[in-house]
Amino acid sequence: MNKKILIDLIGVLLIALVVVVGYKLSPILLPKADVTVQPDPACDLQREACAVNLPSGGKIELSMGTRPVPMVKPFEVQVATSGFSPSRVEVDFAGVDMNMGFNRPEFTPGSNGKYSATVTLPVCITGLMDWQVTVLVETGSERVAIPFRLVSGSHE
């Protein structure tokens, strides 16, 4: 009987540990934002750059360096900012209907408010993949999130 109680106690402690670790990692895996700005749903990242005006002033533009966006091949992603100087720029690529793992490169600053990173998206076995591509920008006083949508792959 004592052995069963010990096993149950170890099980409860392991569950508690998983909960605590999940709670501590949640800001990394599920980014928090002070402001979320919705982009124009008609903008198609496969065809053009998409821009958003921020409520506090300034503008952010997201563009894919290769169109159509390739699967399992590196391509460049650019974020251009104007009207403010961010302290950090990231873009989070998350599968909408399927978990495709953590894919959030930090962008390297360039000149004139331009940031870039090389991204490689995993392939989806169904051929088509819906992505939520969230631009995360830290301005010092707030964290802004802009969730774009992107469909990659083909029916072939």
pLDDT in tens, 17-47: 776 666 555 444 445 667 888 899 899 999 9
What does the pLDDT read at residue 55? 85
140 pLDDT higher than 80? no
Tens digits of residue pLDDT in 82-133: 999 898 899 999 888 887 777 888 789 998 899 999 998 887 666 678 889 9
Does residue 65 share a domain with residue 16? no
Q: Report how far apart, in Å, the C-alpha atoms of 150 and of each of 85, 93, 136, 137 are.
A: 26, 9, 16, 19
Q: Given a cut of 70, is residue 67 above it in pLDDT?
A: yes
Shared domain for 48 and 70, answered yes or no, is yes
Where in the sequence is the domain holding 111, given as residue range(s)?
32-153
**Is there a single domain that holds both residue 24 and residue 55?**
no
Quickly count: other Cβ atoms within 10 Å of residue 62's Cβ.
22
Whole-model pTM: value is 0.73
Q: Structurally, how many domains does the chain consist of?
A: 2
Same domain, 19 and 61: no
Phi (first) and psi of residue 117, to 5 degrees: -155, 155
- Residue 155's pLDDT is what? 43
**Cα radius of gyration (the chain):** 19
The residues pairing with 135 across neighbouring beta strands, listed in sequence order, are: 91, 146
Same domain for 82 and 140, yes or no, is yes
Q: Are residues 25 and 85 in the same domain?
A: no
